[in-house]
Homo-oligomer: A and B are copies of this chain.
Amino acid sequence: MTNRETTTRETLTRNQTLVFDALAKAAGPLSAYTILDKLRDDGFRAPLQVYRALDKLVDFGMVHRLESLNAFVACAHPHCGQHGLIAFAICEKCGHVSEFSNDVIEDQVRGWAAANGFKPSKTTVEIRGNCAKCLNS
């Protein structure tokens, strides 16, 4: 239903590693340009270096793209294998992103698709709002 791993991941290239590490150690999602800035010292000069690495990482399922933010996060799941549809809850105050998967939503999407002859390739579910921590402060 959601994105499948189309490429076999063996080893990350240098650039992919740098981009992934930048995302992994960040508190929240980063835009491609923010990543670029963080990696200037590692020799990154142009957006394309970041976008190319991101494309692969998303393909591998190690990174998710947040459509409503034009930004990217490292996948929260340690070994990031197969999971179904993933939903994101994005705090508009602190920027924190919670990732969860939900089979019921996935079934509903599949159901609508089946009923309408639609063949889904990727499903985006993003909830914008305020997280518990920010609401209590």
**A: which residues have CB within 8 A of B?**
67-68, 87, 89, 91-92, 98, 100, 102, 104-105, 108-109, 112-113, 116-132, 135
**Which residues of B lie under 8 Å from residue A116 when comparing CB positions?**
89, 98, 131-132
14 contacts across the A-B interface (CB closer than 8 A):
A67-B126, A87-B109, A100-B112, A105-B108, A113-B127, A113-B129, A120-B127, A120-B129, A121-B129, A122-B127, A123-B125, A123-B126, A124-B124, A124-B126
Q: Are A130 and B125 in contact (CB under 8 A)?
A: no
Instruction: State the copy count for this chain.
Output: 2
Q: Are B118 and A89 in contact (CB under 8 A)?
A: yes
Q: Is the CB of B127 within 8 A of A118?
A: yes
In the complex formed, the residue of B with least CB distance to A134 is B119
Chain B residue numbers with a CB within 8 Å of A100 are: 112
CB pair A112–B92 under 8 Å, yes or no, is no
Residues of chain B lying within 8 A (CB to CB) of residue A117: 131-132, 135
With a CB–CB cut-off of 8 A, which chain B residues contact A98?
Answer: 116, 118
